[in-house]
A and B are shown apart, each in its own frame.
Chain A
Amino acid sequence: MSEQNLDVVGQSVKRRDGIGHVTGKTVFVDDLRFPDMLYLKMVRSPYHHARIKGIDFSAAEKVPGFVRAFTYKDVPKNIYTILCLIGVGPDEEPVLAEQEVLYKGEQIAAIVAETEEAAMEAVAKTRVDFEELPAVFDVEEALKPGAPILKPWGTNYFVYEGHDCRRIRYGDIEAGFAQADYIVEGRYQPGPVEHAPLETTACIAKPEADGRITVYTNTQALYFTMDNTALILQVPFNKLHFVGGTVGGAFGGKVDVIVEPIATLAAMRTGRPVKYQFTREEEFHVSSTRTAWRIYFRDGVSKDGHIVARQVTSYADSGAYNRHTPYAVTKHAANISGPYTIPNVHVDVHCVYTNRQPSSAMRGFGVTSASFSTELQMDKIARTIGMDPWEIRLINAYRNGDIRPYQKVVEDATLVEAIKGAAKLVGHELPKWAQAMNSWDRGAATPVTVEG
């Protein structure tokens, strides 16, 4: 692409919403108030894994301001469909728990009341009878015989078209190891992280005079959330009208469709606006997190620093339910070889269920853990063979025209240029051969550049 004369693109124009933000006039979901609005609070499991024997709302119903309680029996189609909508299945998470809860904090019953305080009091007075069940928290323990089985299909892992993991098979891994001068192994454990935007997850579902429902929400994905809500409520998609687009930070934490379906159901059944907003504590204890991973590397490295074989076994801790994690697993599998060209790659990525709050999308989604582990592994390789960390990365850097382990031809690669840019910034002098590299021509003596 040739250099273009651009007038507006490339300019640091001021933010369109900047004045609204600095005057406090930008409107967020929590700033909306409607007459007759009800507040929804959720009865949640105190146990990591338990059977529900019964629910007793009699004390809750006596709380002044109590309006109505909802259980799974009230939900027309009591299943989250987020994966089905992106062509991945099966869906297995209930909107409200039926016979069993799989994580501490799981949603069991929704209570709507005239005030937030009344709803919270009614939640506290709801009696749920539980039978506690054994729980599993470790991804490798969850796959061993004898672990409590968490899924109706009889395993603790997501099935990828008949396989127990997402696979990458490229080249000949055994031949690769046979060629290697060094074997470098590593075990990496990136932990679960909370998005923690300053604005918590929220929506207000409001019945309109024409029979439709307007849902004001801070979701990252309006149509996706609306479609899921319609499927759960078994209403035509166009009965719903989703309004949002102004979000107080999200980082992947507002794309689980977790508040809209139940609030919309409550609005439909009561005929009144219903607000459901996560407290800060719910954001930390209940809302989905970044996936924790356990990643095992086995790399075959030649003495001149080339990674000739990479074998990875990776476990994603999906927590109690899928959410988006099976999808992250595929993205992780694609990126676990890093921005490097490796001729023999063998990857197994398992999506494992444990009795933990579910993990889902967060800024980086499967690639964060891939980048974390590959870059720590790169330094480990450098230490093992006695090579400079800059050089080992440049030696292995992918170039345009190379083939990725998922069999796509590399385009738009610029890793070499980014590394050289950083070296220049920090004043690190690269050897001549590195300075001569570029992402297009493995044999180039000089880079082809136009100084802009």
Chain B
Amino acid sequence: MAKMRGVGMSSVNYPTGMNLGGDPTQALLHMTTTGSFVITLASSDLGQGLKTVLAQIGAEALGVPFENVIIDTGDTDTGPHCMGTFASRTTHRAGNAIIMAAAEAKKTMLEVAADELEASPDDLETDGKGNIRVKGSPDRSINLVPMALAAHFKYGKTIGGRGIYFKPNTGVDPETGKMDPDSTEAHACVVAEVEVDTETGVVEVLSIKSAYEIGRQVNPALVEGQIRGGSVMGMGHALYESTNPYYPSPDHAPGGFFEYILPGPADIPEMEMVVLEYPSGNGPYGVKGFGEMTANAPIPAIVNAINNALGTEIAEHPVTPEKILRALEAKASRN
């Protein structure tokens, strides 16, 4: 009886967007005379942080401070159509829609500022701090609020924009499976180290070390959040979780958290991660969706590590202690 250590890896892809496309999202943007840019959506934030990340994209596209951008989401009367938050699609689709809306708004902003500053719109730039200024002459500038007031009260102009991102659904050939399923692909490579107690079958995941390539990080801290959260959910899949523990039998189905084991704070492995950015061709600032991939990639890495530790060929999940002990018995009786 021993504690056996093993290392395993996985290298995976994850597609961005609802499979086959046909999942548009729209954004509406309007600037208030108080200096806020309100981006109205009907997208759901599940906790991954779209209310933050989409405001960042909006601020970047407009060239204004993050604090000036308000994300107003979750109402079908005011927010235009969004297909939904799934398929790692929202930052990509809504982000692109916001960039389109921002371009329209920014054009009007620069026209108004140009009139106020007696310059050509082509000579103007936003400074990211709340002002629009003449390139090369920073003293000739106008703050966003006076600009908005001028637009409204002096020129009778609205500052706003509309945007949509739409990848048409081009179907699947039923004979060959020919299809265009996604907008872009993110990638990950995960290395897991485990220690297996051959007497109890208990697995400890010692470390999960990951390289994620996701096009562009909008918010590195939130990216780290997805990697950590996804890794722990993946670990749960690999080791503990099943709604039918004796699948395909439906018996002994867990009915609550006492019976269905989720990883707790004492179970988490040491984690290291590196995030690579190879901007995608069609994502907002090159973004690729990756929130689902973070739960996928660790699962086979952990099971490969268990098999590496034990010389077994366990081919299912969850790899419970019972399954490990049975696999060790089977291996012993083969030898």
Contact = CB atoms under 8 A, between A and B. Distances in A.
A–B direct contact (CB < 8 Å): yes
Interface of A: 1, 4, 6-17, 48, 86-87, 104, 137-139, 160-163, 166-170, 186-194, 196, 218-224, 226, 240-252, 254-255, 280-281, 284-285, 289, 292, 317, 327, 330-331, 333-335, 338-339, 347, 354-357, 361, 363-368, 371-372, 374-376, 378-380, 389-390, 393, 397, 405-408, 411-415, 417-426, 428, 452
Contact of A414 (B169, B187, B272): B187
Contacts of B281: 1, 411-412
A379 B307 contact: yes
A191 B323 CA distance: 13
Contact of A422 (B211, B218, B254, B255): B211
A380 B243 contact: no
A334 B46 contact: no
Given A12-B220, A220-B85, A221-B44, A367 B181 contact: no
Interface in B193-228: 209-213, 215-222
Contact of A222 (B52, B82, B178, B181): B82
Contacts of A284: 243, 253-256, 260
Interface of B: 8-15, 18-20, 22, 42-47, 49, 51-52, 55-57, 59-60, 63, 65-66, 71, 73-77, 79, 81-87, 128, 169, 172, 174-182, 184-185, 187-191, 209-213, 215-222, 230, 233, 236-237, 241-244, 247-250, 253-257, 260, 262, 272-274, 276-281, 285-286, 288, 291-293, 295-297, 299-301, 303-304, 307-308, 313, 315-318
A347 B66 contact: no
Contacts of A334: 15, 19, 177, 179, 181-182
A226 to B, nearest CB: 6
Given A245-B74, A331-B181, A192 B190 contact: no
Contacts of A242: 42, 75-76
Contact of B313 (A250, A327, A355, A380): A380
B315 A137 contact: no
Contact of A417 (B59, B177, B278, B318): B278
A363 B51 CA distance: 20
A248 B211 CA distance: 28
Contacts of B317: 190-191, 372
A425 B274 contact: yes
Given A9-B216, A15-B49, A372-B300, A196 B10 contact: no
Contact of A7 (B128, B179, B211, B296): B128
A9 B60 contact: yes
A375 B83 contact: no
Contacts of B83: 221, 223-224
A193 to B, nearest CB: 5
Contact of A10 (B217, B262, B288, B304): B217
7 contacts: A15-B222, A137-B248, A243-B75, A371-B300, A413-B187, A419-B211, A422-B191
A389 B307 CA distance: 13
